[in-house]
């Protein structure tokens, strides 16, 4: 088991760490060091044992708050799952049917004819205007 030196509250500590667990140790060290640094910033010089104890207690307090939040979230999830089971089957079933309106071919032909007449009338009007302008 390799020995790793870590710094907490500006103090070095040598600890044994199982092979491959170094990244997890560094995360734990970062959390404890953050608490120790906060404590040292507010209280100044603190004896080593008190610094470690207070930092551990602050982390434990955070952990307890997160556990309570997790329990509340799990309870809300359980309630939501139970409520979803009480929904009638008709509501659970979603019909994926889309109606696409169909334009009758005769109407399309009529619209095309009207469009051609309108273009012809516009061309005729433009020609008459250009003749009177000359």
Residue keyed to tokens 């906060």: 38
Mean pLDDT of the chain: 88
Q: What is the DSSP letter of 87?
A: S
Give CA–CA dist 61/8, Å, rounded: 19
Reported as a pLDDT band with limits 50, 70 and 90, residue 133 is: confident
Domain ranges of the chain: 3-86, 104-134
**Per-residue model confidence as pLDDT tens digits over 80-129:** 988 888 877 766 666 666 677 888 889 889 999 999 999 999 998 888 88
- Alpha helices by DSSP H, listed for 86-104, are 89-92
3-state helix, strand, coil in the chain (%, to 5): 70, 10, 20
What is residue 34's predicted lDDT score, i.e. its pLDDT? 93
């Amino acid at each position: 088991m390799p020995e790793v030196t870590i710094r907490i509250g500006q103090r070095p500590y040598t600890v044994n760490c199982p092979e491959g667990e170094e990244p997890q140790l560094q995360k734990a060290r970062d959390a404890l060091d953050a608490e120790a640094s906060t404590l040292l910033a507010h209280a100044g010089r603190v004896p080593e044992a008190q610094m470690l104890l207070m930092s551990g207690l602050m982390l434990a307090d955070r952990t307890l708050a997160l556990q309570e939040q997790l329990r509340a979230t799990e309870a809300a999830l359980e309630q939501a799952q139970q409520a979803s089971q009480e929904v009638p089957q008709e509501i659970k079933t979603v019909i994926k049917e889309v109606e696409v309106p169909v334009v009758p071919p005769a109407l399309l032909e009529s619209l095309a004819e009207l469009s051609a007449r309108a273009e012809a009338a516009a061309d005729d009007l433009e020609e008459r205007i250009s003749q009177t302008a000359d």
